[in-house]
Every structure is written in C-alpha cells, then in structure tokens.
Structure 1
Amino acid sequence: MSAQVKSKQRVQEHGEVFTNEREVNAMLDMVKQETERIESRFLEPACGDGNFLAEVLRRKLAVVASLYRKSPTEYMRYAFVAVASIYGVDILEDNARECRERLYGIVEGESKAAIKGAVDSLFLDAARYVLEKNILCGDALTLKDASGDPITFAEWSVVTGDKVKRRDYLLSELLEGHNAQPSLFGESGSMVTDWEYDEETQAYIPSAVREYPPVNYWEVQRNG
C-alpha cells in the first residue's frame, strides 16, 4: 500500500490523497459479494496508483485460486476474466502507469503462487495488454483521455471455451446508460441507437463503437 500523499505540490495542484488500506477494505467489504465474483466489473474513475483496484484484484484472484488451483489451464482462463473486469482512469500519467504495473505484479505473483510457477508467458502477456487498455490516463470529469479523445474502454467477454470477444465502448455512453431512460443523442449530437438492457449490470448498454472477432484469450493482442 502506497503512502497517502506523494507530495504537497500534488495535493495542491490535483487534490491527490490516497485512501489507506483500512478504509479501502472497509469500503470494499460493503460490496464484498461483488468483489469476490470473478466476472463483476469495477471502474475506479480516480484510481491513483491502484489502492482499490489492487485489493479487488487480489480478492478475485483468491477466488480463482480456491476454485481452479489444481488446473493451470482453468486458473489462467479465469484469472484472465478477473483482470479483464477491472478498469481505472487517473488524470496523472505516472499514476496510471504505476497502477498498471502494480496490477500486473499482482497477477504475476498470485498466479505463480497458485499454480506453483507453471504460468504461461502468453497468459502474462495477455494480462499486461488488457491492463494497458483498461487502465487509462484521462479526466473522468471531461471523459477525455490524455490525448483529448473520448475515453474508450474495451469489454472482454468469454464467448465459448477460451475464445474472447472484444467490444469497445465510449465511457460517456456507458455512464449515460445507467439512466432509466437513456438519451437518444450522444455528445456530438449524433443519434445513438441499439440500446439494450444488460441484466448483469442492470443498465442500458449502447452500441459498441468497434467490435473485434473472437480470439483465444492469450491472443488478444492480435486485435491491436
């Protein structure tokens, strides 16, 4: 767990104060069942270097280990699902980078401990790639990334066996979907169509801005 303050300057300029471990666990315990559901998705809009996301990932991987540690193949498949369910945004690039590295370190360490070092490098490469897509530098208030483009997140869904389908969504539309009656128009004023109600999230989900063909989970990098 990192210190609560990195520097006075960062506090003054960005209001950056990290949540301590006791508070992190107390808050996550309020939704304990979801933190232990492998596929449940978490988004931290001001993730810092990952205090909340790291604990969520540890809890998920503990469940994966308890269920699948005797089968490295099954363990890596479900560990991929756990990693792919975690999302974060931070306005500072160093925080986003440190968060990605921290989460990757947890995946690598927990996986090697659970299946006695028999961890496929392709699985670890896939986990790193997913974290690059899921933990972004951007502003969760303006919903823009560091380049000024709309924040876009990938959804990773296991469709059959080891096959994973990636669909990209605008964060702005995903957030809008949590309204009971989503708007018919997006930020640009263009029509938004094909909203569907998703039972898992209990929210309306918009059309994906891009879809990719299913690939084996350890080959997700193929889709760019």
Structure 2
Amino acid sequence: MKQQVKSKERVAYHGEVFTAEREINAMLDLVKQETERVDSRFLEPACGDGNFLSEILRRKLEAAKKRAIPPRKKRPLPLEYEKQAVIAIASIYGVDLMMDNVLACRERLFEIWDKEYQTICKKEVNEECREAVRFILNRNIVCGNALSLKEVDENGNDTEEPIVFSEWSFVMENKIQRKDYRFDKLLAGDYRPKAAKRKKKKSIEGGYQQMDLYSMWEAKPSDEGELLTSYVTDYRRVQEHGE
C-alpha cells in the first residue's frame, strides 16, 4: 500500500495527506463514463505525486486501446493507438504546491504512458512522440497554488506569475493545436463547478475554493478566457515550439 504521509512537517505546513487507492477508485467509479472517455479533461488541484491522475490515465489508456482497434480486428493499430494515447495524456492536468511532488507526478504519468505505448507499438515506438509527451506533461502538471491561481517559488510561496494551462486538441490527421490560457481568466466568467451546483460553499478568505477534481472544463465559463499562445503543429513535434 502506498504511503499516505511523507512527513509530519508536510502534514502540518501543507496539509499533505495522500488519498488511498480504495478511495480513489471509489470516487472515480462515480464518474466512470468520464474516466473511460479518452478526451475528457480532468484537473486535480492538489495532485501530490499523482495518485488520482495515474488511475485516471490507466483508465483512459484502456479506452484508447479499444478505440484503436479497427472493425473485425482484435489488436489496436499502433499509429492510431499512439494518437489516442497522446489525446489521453494531454487531457490530464494537475497543480501542486510542492515541486518534488510535481516532478514525481510527471515522471509517474510518463512511465505509465510509456509502458503501455511500448507494449502496444513495440518496434513502431517513436522517440519524437515520447519527447512530445514529456513536453505536454511539463505544461499540464504545474507547480502552483490552486487557491490563489498563482505559480509558487521553491518554498511554496505565491509569485506574481499566474498559472497557465495549455489546451491540446487534434485539428487534422497528424496536427495538434495548442492554446495557452491564464487559469484565473478562465475562471473569471460565470463559472460554477458541478459540485457547487448541488451545494453552495463559503468562499475562502482572499482567494478561491479548491476546485473539485472533475470540474475543469466540465462547466462552461461565460467566455473562453484570455488566449496567450496558439499554434498548430505535428503532434510529435510540440516540443519544438519551446515552453
């Protein structure tokens, strides 16, 4: 069983307690259909080293495998699986205050993705695609404060830099579009997470409430937010456009 507490100090200063596997699967089963959609987007606002996100990814990759199997065939087509697997990893987002957690989460998700990728694609594994997935993870799993919506420094203190997320979507056969948005601007419109619709909660002093695991992009803001970056490129070469 994975350790739920790294240290008493981290619990005291950051409230860091990792969710157990049984609870994770029970919660994800409540939204089972969404976890089995390759392109459904998930945000974990206190992702730790990826307990929730890793299980979401496993479910998505299983769905990707099924989508890559052509009619009357038993095995997924390697190239189609590769695309579906990129969609799966690109739809997962996480924020955490602790940089060691962020780095561990990125690596954990990559290892899960890469293991399945190599198992399905074997000799057709593409190194550029693997590098592209690492780049996507660097954009999607960020070190920041999900309450203030700011990036944080090495001590976990807010900086002046806002959290920025990249939205990824296939627009042509081998082309993927990246759009970068400030997270605070995305939430500036008429935004209410699903959980808030059922029960209103008091606001937290000087900031935002921690968001529900499933709420990002499931609810619709009143506008699309402030677009910072946009480009279209081959999905295997997103890393060539820098941070």
Shorter-chain-normalised TM-score: which range?
0.7 to 0.9
Tell which deviates more after alignment, 136-145 or 1-10: 1-10
Letter in 2 for 1:13: Y
CA 142–40 in structure 1, closer or farther in 2 if over 3 Å, else same: same
Q: Do residues 222 (structure 1) and 240 (structure 2) align? A: yes
Corresponding residue for residue 192 of structure 1: none
Q: Which runs of 4+ in 1 moved over 4 A?
A: none
CA distance in 2, matches of 1:13, 1:97: 20
1:110-154 deviation per Cα after TM superposition (whole angstroms, max 9, x unaligned):
111223353211111110000000000111111101252000000
Corresponding residue for residue 187 of structure 2: 175
CA shift, 1:210, in A, is 1.9
1:41-71 deviation per Cα after TM superposition (whole angstroms, max 9, x unaligned):
0000000000000000000001111232531
1:142-186 deviation per Cα after TM superposition (whole angstroms, max 9, x unaligned):
110125200000001111111111111111122234527xxxxxx
CA distance in 2, matches of 1:64, 1:113: 13
More RCO (CA 8 Å, sep 6+): 2
CA distance in 1, matches of 2:191, 2:50: 28
Q: Do residues 91 (structure 1) and 108 (structure 2) align? A: no
Corresponding residue for residue 162 of structure 1: 174
Corresponding residue for residue 24 of structure 1: 24
CA distance in 2, matches of 1:114, 1:73: 10
Q: Mind listing any 5+ residue stretches in structure 1 that lack a counterpart?
A: 181-199
1:169-220 deviation per Cα after TM superposition (whole angstroms, max 9, x unaligned):
111122234527xxxxxxxxxxxxxxxxxxx845024244323321010010
Instruction: Give the match's secondary structure for 2:133.
Output: helix
Tell which deviates more after alignment, 90-99 or 61-70: 61-70
Instruction: Give the match's secondary structure for 1:156.
Output: strand
CA distance in 2, matches of 1:145, 1:56: 24
Q: Do residues 210 (structure 1) and 228 (structure 2) align? A: yes
Is the contact made by 1:47 and 1:90 (CA closer than 8 Å) also made in structure 2? yes
Letter in 1 for 2:186: L
Letter in 2 for 1:61: L
Aligned residues: CA RMSD: 1.6
Q: How does 1:123-134 map to 2 (within 5 A)?
A: 123-134=129-140
Is the contact made by 2:191 and 2:219 (CA closer than 8 Å) also made in structure 1? no
Corresponding residue for residue 153 of structure 1: 165
TM-score, normalised to structure 2, is 0.80
Is the contact made by 1:83 and 1:127 (CA closer than 8 Å) also made in structure 2? yes
Q: How does 1:179-198 map to 2 (within 5 A)?
A: 179=191
Is the contact made by 1:49 and 1:99 (CA closer than 8 Å) also made in structure 2? yes
Corresponding residue for residue 195 of structure 2: none
CA distance in 2, matches of 1:75, 1:30: 27
Give identity over the alignment, percent.
Answer: 50
Q: How does 1:69-88 map to 2 (within 5 A)?
A: 69-88=75-94
Corresponding residue for residue 194 of structure 1: none
Tell which deviates more after alignment, 126-135 or 143-152: 143-152
Q: How many residues align?
A: 205
Letter in 2 for 1:28: L
Q: Mind listing any 5+ residue stretches in structure 2 that lack a counterpart?
A: 69-74, 154-158, 193-216
CA distance in 2, matches of 1:213, 1:93: 28
Tell which deviates more after alignment, 1-10 or 30-39: 1-10
Instruction: Give the match's secondary structure for 2:76.
Output: coil
